[in-house]
Structure 1
Amino acid sequence: MSLRVLIVVTHLLGAGHLTRAAALARAFAEAGHETVLVSGGASAQVLLDTVRMVQLPPVRTIGTDFRTLLDEAGRPVSGAYLDQRRDLLLQTLNAVRPHVLITELFPFGRRALADEFMALLEAARVMTPRPQIASSIRDILVAPSKPERVAETHRRLMHLYDAVLVHGDPELVALDASWPVSGVLRPLLHYTGYVDEGVDPVGSKERHGIVVSGGSSAAGIPLYRAAMAAAHIVDDRPWRLLIGRGVSEEDVERLMKDAPPHVSVERTRPDFRMLLASAELSISQAGYNTCVDLLRTSVRQILVPFEAGRETEQRLRADRLQAMGLARVVPEEDITGAKIADAVRNSLAAPYPQPLSLGFDGARRSVAIVESLILAAPQHHARLDWSPLSDALHRARDRGCPIRFWWRDDDAVARTPQLDRLLALAGRYQAGLGIACVPAGLEPSLAKSLRGAEGAFALVHGSSHANHAPHGEKKAEFGAHRPVTEMAKEVAEGLGRSAAMLGDRLLPVFVPPWNRITPTLVENLPQAGYRAISIFKDRTTARTAEGLAIVNTHVDPIDWHGSRSLSDPLGLIRNLTDAVERRVSGAADPEEPIGFLTHHLVHDEKVWTFCENLLVYLSRNNESFVAIDELFCNKNRIVVDT
């Protein structure tokens, strides 16, 4: 699949927005997509390789007055100047005819440029075929003070957008920490992880010295001056001040004249991350790109967040890092040489921060998300012939045989990028999800992930997922190969361990690995505390030993005996259709929901795409995967003695 991608960005103060947009553009181009980047900010040098760049007549601002737009000469822009920008933007849209249109920050920001963005979006909306439209935003936004502006943003998203790419990780900070996430917005959100193209840092074994950086704009000058004053106080280490390109030569010369011998002053360098990896301490603002560098290098951090003009983004990010024990914050309003010096002494006495397991492949993940959106879009979705399933569902309704669907996913033990994607996908379509978790391998990160996923509940997936079948027989952990007493003890211990780890996110439902279990062990499950069992086939009875409920799965999208990728999509639709028909005809229990079985850890993009296609189909036909706690009639979540 080769796409045409158009990314539109206008940076007004620093270059962070352009840097992030350029990283996305390069990632799309590297994935084989024809990519055009439109920049409406001041001309800047960015490495684009095979990406084509279109420069609009540039605009910029002074400080944080984002309402007053200036041209390159510093004059207020005229209506005719803005018309030139809009006309070139529309000409580019018509020339590229993109499959994907990405607007950086808009409609969450850039209200001063709303007219040109809205003209672009309205023109794209009526194109045939209509491109998929996404907004690209950083992890933290600055919400308007007026509620009506938030409402306006959400209306534009609902009317014009298919997705919002959030270039952050909710493990560090979720979007709703800075922006009200409504029911309209939530289904559009896709967390990509942080956009980071930097090489893995390789610093000196012995860290030494202090690095000061203030971003790319002149907004960092107060920080540089305070750091210079602090360097006169703390003079037992070398200091290096890296000055952004937006700072004038005159200001750089003043700093150089004030520098004592142990302080060097120079322009920012491409090896900034390597310098951090070799430093004892970093003093910086708390911008997006800077914090990514800091997190990747595990350097001690003093953060002086930029807060002029009611800016809250950097302070929120800095406070979050401080709360996690990763940084020390000095508020911009309190910045003096003495306070910086005190913070330096305290920071140097503290240990280096431990690395966080955050997602830093945001550019690549953005490409994968957009590709999935394209495949799930109506024009691509229509390539799959869902009519057999639609016809079967109509017949079922006509004959008074309501059909329900449920979703089970197997083999979870910890939070992983695949689990994050699974939970996000289910949450986006408000689909119930039962996650079969292996007790012996459970990690605390899984419990934390499930607590944040409203519709997802854990089920017990065997004990250790170990195969005990003799060589040459089908794999089974609980087949007729071991004493029942031994296996009964394992399943009871598995439930106890899972309950202790997962708490009220666990349902007492047993899912035997490889969907195989000897009937003699089934009879022991109620005594062990289980209330239901789930395997892979049509059930012949709704309940078994001592009222143990049975809710099975029936369709698995993976070709396990061949490619181990996606089975034939049309064949999967036939399997779903056959499952409906069996319930209508009475060949299967009409009360049993049709179970869709996935294995998130081994999904490739084809499997992920089919899963989303199925969710799209169900939602457009007023169907959904049922709530798991309701499915197993266990809203009160039975307490298990541990």
Structure 2
Amino acid sequence: MRVAYYCQHVLGMGHFFRSLEIAKALADHEVDLISGGPEVRAELPPHVSLFRLPGLMMNDDFSELYPLEPGRSLEEVKNERARLLSERFLLFSPDLFLVELFPFGRNQFSFELLPLLQDIRDGHFGPVKVVCSLRDILVEKSNQEKYEARVVKRLNEFFNLLAVHADPALLRLDETFGSLDRVRIPVRYTGFVTTKPRSGAGIALRRELGLEPSQKLIVASIGGGKVGGRLLFAALQAFARLGLSGARMHVFSGPYMEASEFLALEKLASAIPGVILEHFTDRFLDYLDAADLSLSQAGYNTAMNILATGVPALVWPFDQNHEQRLRAEKLKQLGVLGILEDADLESERLAVRMAQAMEAGRRSGPAPVDLDGAANTARLLQDLAS
């Protein structure tokens, strides 16, 4: 089976890495991962190729697209992307087209996706099944009724299947999308998509870092780094207050943090013993597996990494919409993490919360939700194609 997988990340890296995890699970098939956001450092398995469209990003409030390449107009980049996407599709000749988020999101990319979907529907590329790959929670819209009507129309017109990457025992799509009963194509829950820690990875990393069992390791991260810097500054100040003998804090700012903010963070980190600051690590899951505490936001990927490793965790949900707050509240009910409010970022209060979370210790036993979403998705797609 040949799978073309369209994934456009516009602010962070979560959409890309979730898509890559599903692509990895399709190990017996050929996958062409089509990406058009900022470059992400990631190792691809042999069966996955990466096709990069000219880069587009969105501003922080998701209101405007802009080209990543200086000096190019938005219209010029849009026209080139639409042409290249169609040409790539013709060259790769997929059996299945997997589209991440659209039509539930990425409406500003309709300029390239709708013409392609219309050509698929009209048989220009031969028989191709089309699947929407969707995360657990949708963000609220200013005109929810109009938005849902548009989504339902496009799903019913162009798609064969909707794959929801969630465990319905924790989160159901109809909690954030009220028109699910009008969707005529099959809707399947796959479980959550996440990488699983390798056996002994955390122990091996602690040994590599020279940490004794009694020494605490705290990991602070904010995904891609475009938003959430306030949490890292607060974490550093609280860590200094804790005064734990021999403790380490590894801080990951994300590759997209503004240079000026990173410099300020670097200045603060350099004055605190035991702190290591980096933009990014491809061993993030190993760090969580090794850690005594994780401080982060509540994006899909990080939340599932917390579940997969069982690390004690405090999350500060991104507040531009209800997505991260709802996910955090659901996971708090399971007892797998604590939620930080804005007031908790005051250094003394945060230090107390951190100490309490570490004292509670690591969760034992299996994760309380289905985390086999990647493998389940691969089987679902195989069944659809055959």
Q: TM-score range by the shorter chain?
A: 0.7 to 0.9
Query: Given that residues 201 and 274 in structure 1 are in contact (C-alpha distance below 8 angstroms), is that contact kept between their aligned partners in structure 2?
Result: no
Partner of residue 323 from structure 1, selected from 312, 324, 333: 333
1:84 corresponding residue in structure 2: 80
Deviation at 1:181, TM superposition (A): 4.8
User: What is the rounded CA distance, in whole Å, between the counterparts of 1:74 and 1:304 in structure 2?
Assistant: 34
Q: Which moved more, 1:355-364 or 1:227-236?
A: 355-364
Query: Given that residues 284 and 303 in structure 1 are in contact (C-alpha distance below 8 angstroms), is that contact kept between their aligned partners in structure 2?
Result: yes
1:306 corresponding residue in structure 2: 318
Counterpart residue identity of residue 163, structure 2: L
Counterpart residue identity of residue 141, structure 1: L
2:176 corresponding residue in structure 1: 178
Deviation at 1:334, TM superposition (A): 5.9
Deviation at 1:131, TM superposition (A): 1.0
Q: Which has the higher relative contact order, 1 or 2, with Cα contacts under 8 A spaced 6 or more apart?
A: 2
Deviation at 1:136, TM superposition (A): 0.6
1:165 corresponding residue in structure 2: 163
2:217 corresponding residue in structure 1: 209
Deviation at 1:295, TM superposition (A): 0.7
Counterpart residue identity of residue 351, structure 2: A
Would you say 1:281 and 2:302 are equivalent positions? no
CA root-mean-square deviation: 2.2
Query: Given that residues 334 and 368 in structure 2 are in contact (C-alpha distance below 8 angstroms), is that contact kept between their aligned partners in structure 1?
Result: no
2:265 corresponding residue in structure 1: 255
Counterpart residue identity of residue 115, structure 1: F
User: What is the rounded CA distance, in whole Å, between the counterparts of 1:272 and 1:42 in structure 2?
Assistant: 19
Query: Given that residues 307 and 332 in structure 1 are in contact (C-alpha distance below 8 angstroms), is that contact kept between their aligned partners in structure 2?
Result: no
| TM-score w.r.t. length of structure 1 | 0.54
Deviation at 1:331, TM superposition (A): 2.9
SS of the counterpart of 2:141?
Answer: coil
Deviation at 1:227, TM superposition (A): 1.0
Counterpart residue identity of residue 26, structure 1: K
1:229 corresponding residue in structure 2: 237
Counting only pairs closer than 5 Å after superposition, residues 524-543 of structure 1 correspond to structure 2 as none
Structure 2 unmatched runs, 5+: 204-212
User: What is the rounded CA distance, in whole Å, between the counterparts of 1:81 and 1:224 in structure 2?
Assistant: 35
1:348 corresponding residue in structure 2: 358
User: What is the rounded CA distance, in whole Å, between the counterparts of 1:166 and 1:120 in structure 2?
Assistant: 22
CA deviation vs aligned residue, 1:428-451 (integer Å, no higher than 9, x gap): xxxxxxxxxxxxxxxxxxxxxxxx
CA deviation vs aligned residue, 1:143-202 (integer Å, no higher than 9, x gap): 323111111101111111111111121223222222225223375221112222343353
User: What is the rounded CA distance, in whole Å, between the counterparts of 1:191 and 1:58 in structure 2?
Assistant: 31
Change (3 A) 1:141 1:164: same
Query: Given that residues 209 and 238 in structure 1 are in contact (C-alpha distance below 8 angstroms), is that contact kept between their aligned partners in structure 2?
Result: yes
2:208 corresponding residue in structure 1: none
1:366 corresponding residue in structure 2: 377
User: What is the rounded CA distance, in whole Å, between the counterparts of 1:207 and 1:169 in structure 2?
Assistant: 35
Deviation at 1:367, TM superposition (A): 1.6
SS of the counterpart of 2:267?
Answer: helix
Query: Given that residues 207 and 278 in structure 1 are in contact (C-alpha distance below 8 angstroms), is that contact kept between their aligned partners in structure 2?
Result: no
1:140 corresponding residue in structure 2: 137
Change (3 A) 1:333 1:54: farther
Deviation at 1:119, TM superposition (A): 1.0
CA deviation vs aligned residue, 1:199-258 (integer Å, no higher than 9, x gap): 335334667232111112221311111112212322224322122111245433322321
Query: Given that residues 167 and 194 in structure 1 are in contact (C-alpha distance below 8 angstroms), is that contact kept between their aligned partners in structure 2?
Result: yes
Counting only pairs closer than 5 Å after superposition, residues 554-633 of structure 1 correspond to structure 2 as none
Identical aligned pairs, as a percentage?
Answer: 30
User: What is the rounded CA distance, in whole Å, between the counterparts of 1:332 and 1:192 in structure 2?
Assistant: 34
Alignment: residue pair count: 368
SS of the counterpart of 1:88?
Answer: helix
Query: Given that residues 55 and 69 in structure 2 are in contact (C-alpha distance below 8 angstroms), is that contact kept between their aligned partners in structure 1?
Result: no
| TM-score w.r.t. length of structure 2 | 0.88
SS of the counterpart of 1:183?
Answer: helix
Query: Given that residues 196 and 309 in structure 2 are in contact (C-alpha distance below 8 angstroms), is that contact kept between their aligned partners in structure 1?
Result: no
SS of the counterpart of 1:124?
Answer: helix
Deviation at 1:5, TM superposition (A): 1.1
Partner of residue 96 from structure 2, selected from 86, 95, 100: 100
User: What is the rounded CA distance, in whole Å, between the counterparts of 1:112 and 1:333 in structure 2?
Assistant: 36
Would you say 1:112 and 2:108 are equivalent positions? yes
